[in-house]
Amino acid sequence: MEAALAELEAALGHEFTSPKLLVRALTHRSLANEQAAALEQSATGGSVSVAVEEKAARAADNERLEFLGDAVLGLVVAEALFLLHPEWHEGELTRVRAQLVSRQHMAEVAVAIGLGSHLRLSRGEDRSGLRRKSTVLSNTMEAVLAALFLDAGLESVRRFVRRYVMGEAAEQLARDLRSGAALGNYKSALQEHLQAAGAGIPVYKVKSESGPDHRKRFLVEVRLKAGEGEPGKPLARGQGSTKKHAEQDAARRALDRLSAAPNEDVSSDGGEEEEQAAR
């Protein structure tokens, strides 16, 4: 347990004064329920009432920390955007903040630091693959940020957010905002771009999968399909921890390519170049 926590603390950039906070942030309700039931049965030698079990579980799982972490995350991201972009109005700040604190993006942040392998789940939920679900990953990430805040204060959360939550993601969203693209939804933006040019429609295909179950990586290719029965010409390739994320990355790369060379024939083969870029 200590070695595993040390690995996560290194990713978070903070050694916890109270490691119990971090353990609680990693504890899913399923494990808290399982442990509460076992504890009460051991103490009473009999069955446990639902009320007693739920009360004990609430004291041990990460849901209260998740509530706090959501608020802390929203504050730190809002503060960063406010300071970085004095030219933005309220609506622009709100739209970009929503993307950065979204379930999808926070799940990606969780994957980036390997959070899934540290989740504390019941045996049943662990076997079901719960530690790979984006909802669980994003919720746990928020709980961990709350634990970081309680143990070390707001500046520790700011450092983590600048490194993992903001960074290139925030810069790309700012570029999207300036270009008028569908903010954060590169697939929609690519489809709109191609339709406006009368070029065809984008189609996506998984080219490969790699990595262990808890750290899957998907390589997806987006192709331009001009008509029925045609295989389509490759535009770009992208990677991600899920098929959806890889598709968004491929669409983003295709948009970047088309924006950089607006007069380029979109039917030319860009797959090989983009495969190298995706790596």
- Note the pLDDT tens digit of each residue in 151-164: 999 999 999 999 99
The active-site residue, picked from 40, 53, 66, 70, is 70
Tokens representing residue 118 in the block: 């540290």
Any catalytic annotation for residue 265? no
Nearest CA among 270, 197, 189 for reference residue 233: 270
Which ranges of the chain have pLDDT less than 70?
Answer: 1-2, 34-59, 126, 180-184, 214, 226-231, 261-279
DSSP strands (E only) in 11-131:
none
The shares of helix, strand and coil residues in the chain, as percent rounded to the nearest 5, are 65, 10, 25
Q: Is 142 a catalytic residue?
A: yes
| pLDDT at residue 97, as a whole number | 92
Q: What is the pLDDT of residue 38?
A: 62
The answer to the question of residue 34 being in a domain is: no
CATH number for 253 = 3.30.160.20
> Would you state the pLDDT for residue 3?
73
User: Looking at the domain assignment, is residue 111 inside a domain?
Assistant: yes
**Secondary element (H or E) of residue 6:** helix 2-12
> What is the token pair recorded at 257?
């390519």
Active-site residue (options: 142, 176, 247, 249): 142
Domain termination site, one of 125, 156, 179: 179
Same domain, 134 and 271: no
Residue 52, domain member (yes or no): no
Q: Give the model's pLDDT for residue 230.
A: 63
Query: Looking at residue 165, what DSSP letter applies?
Result: I
Please give the Cα distance from 207 to 221 (Å, whole number): 7
119 and 251 housed in the same domain: no
